[in-house]
Amino acid sequence: MRIPVAKIQSAPRVHAIRVTDAWVRETISLAIGGEVETVSGTLTIERTGADIRVSGEVSLSGTTLCAACGEAAAVHLKASPDFIYREMGEESSSNSDEEVELGEDELNVGWYTDDTLDLKEVLSEIVALDFPLRVLCEERSACDARSAELFKKVDAIQPANPFASLKEMCS
């Protein structure tokens, strides 16, 4: 969902984030690498000078793969984004190789192009920043048992000896 920046005013505009919207389901499914069950929340968009501020609350639940055993694992996320978006320009694309140190107030800055703010990108960023690095099954003992079984199968596989043909040549 793309919003023309020219239509964003200083008065806050609230956008509902619903699981029934196809773009929301698609964006979050890609971001979590799994299936979306519930999504709810709001994003408030307002102009603050030349910047666009996006804040709000987003909650979701779904399933993705467990990092340990590879089975489906539940994931729950609650995020309270507060981002500033600026137009992509000279400030955002430095051609210099010199190091640029960012201040704390600059760490939540994103960029928009073509005079539009893409809410799909905003939502992807929200999920990416708040999503756990590793999702594990809620039932740890069962997950550990499945993981142990996987390791047994891997250990049982005997890799081919790359030097076996040399042994035949020397004998």
Query: Within a domain: residue 49?
Result: yes
Q: Which residue, 64, 68, 73, 71, is CA-closest to 148?
A: 68
- Kindly give the pairing relationship between strand 2-4 and strand 116-118: antiparallel
Q: Which two tokens stand for residue 122?
A: 């905003």
Asked if 23 and 120 count as a contact pair (C-beta separation under 8 A), the reply is: yes
Residue 62, helix vs strand vs coil: strand
The pLDDT value given to residue 88: 82
Which residues share a beta bridge with 39? 60
Query: Within a domain: residue 94?
Result: no
The pLDDT value given to residue 94: 52
Query: Within a domain: residue 59?
Result: yes
The pLDDT value given to residue 17: 94
Q: How far is CA 64 from CA 12, 31, 67, in A?
A: 34, 10, 9
Count structural domains, the chain.
1
Report the amino acid identity of residue 75.
V
Which domain does 55 fall in, by range?
A: 2-89+100-170
Query: Within a domain: residue 106?
Result: yes
Cα–Cα distance measured from residue 33 to residue 29, given in angstroms and rounded to the nearest whole number: 6
The pLDDT value given to residue 10: 84
Query: Within a domain: residue 74?
Result: yes
Which residues of the chain fall short of a pLDDT of 50? 90, 92
